[in-house]
């Protein structure tokens, strides 16, 4: 994606101890709980322990989490590959771009990089994502990147008051 005529660039990197404050902010942002499967707060201690002990080995952890930095080195989000299934060579993608960094092409650039990483390094066959059917921005993004909606799951996500349907998208790498 281009912004002001320039292609957005991102660098995916491992989580560092210096990322703890940002990780704490993202994991405890109640607005994000309605678009994902996490709906509990995390303490700094739990997140510190996670950062200190994560191996970044998708086979050991069954997930890999990477920070997203822009070309200037500013962290703009987090991308995860979770629910790793080595037998079927697939994983679920989770992507969060910070509010003030949205609509600048970072999500698109991240998806391109995570596809390359999943295909060339992890040798995955496919990625999938489960999106609230009301989340137009995410639906548009993943459709634009070639994800195909394969299933509508009624009453899949609960926002504390109501259940909402989700759409399962998959992308063959």
Query: d(Cα 46, Cα 69) in Å, to the nearest integer?
Result: 24
Dump pLDDT digits (tens) for 140-162.
999 999 999 989 999 998 877 88
Q: Based on C-alpha coordinates, what's the Rg of the chain?
A: 16
Dump pLDDT digits (tens) for 16-64.
999 988 988 888 776 665 555 556 677 777 888 888 888 888 988 899 9
Across 44-111, the runs of DSSP E, i.e. the strands, are: 64-70, 75-85, 90-97
Element (H, E) at 48: helix 44-53
């Amino acid at each position: 994606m281009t912004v002001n005529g320039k292609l957005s660039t991102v660098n995916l990197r491992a989580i560092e101890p210096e990322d703890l404050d940002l990780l704490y902010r993202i994991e405890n942002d109640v607005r994000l709980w309605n678009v994902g499967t996490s709906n509990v707060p995390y303490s700094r201690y739990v997140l510190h322990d996670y950062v200190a002990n994560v191996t970044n080995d998708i086979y050991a952890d069954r997930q890999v989490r990477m920070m997203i930095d822009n070309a200037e080195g500013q962290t703009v989000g987090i991308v995860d590959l979770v629910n790793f299934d080595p037998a079927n060579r697939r994983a679920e993608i989770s992507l969060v771009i910070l509010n003030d960094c949205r609509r600048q092409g970072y999500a698109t650039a991240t998806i391109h990089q995570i596809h390359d990483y999943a295909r060339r390094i992890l040798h995955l066959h496919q990625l999938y994502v489960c999106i609230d059917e009301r989340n137009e921005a995410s639906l548009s993004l993943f459709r634009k990147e070639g994800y195909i909606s394969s299933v509508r799951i009624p009453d899949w996500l609960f926002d504390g008051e109501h259940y909402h349907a989700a759409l399962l998208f998959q992308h063959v790498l």
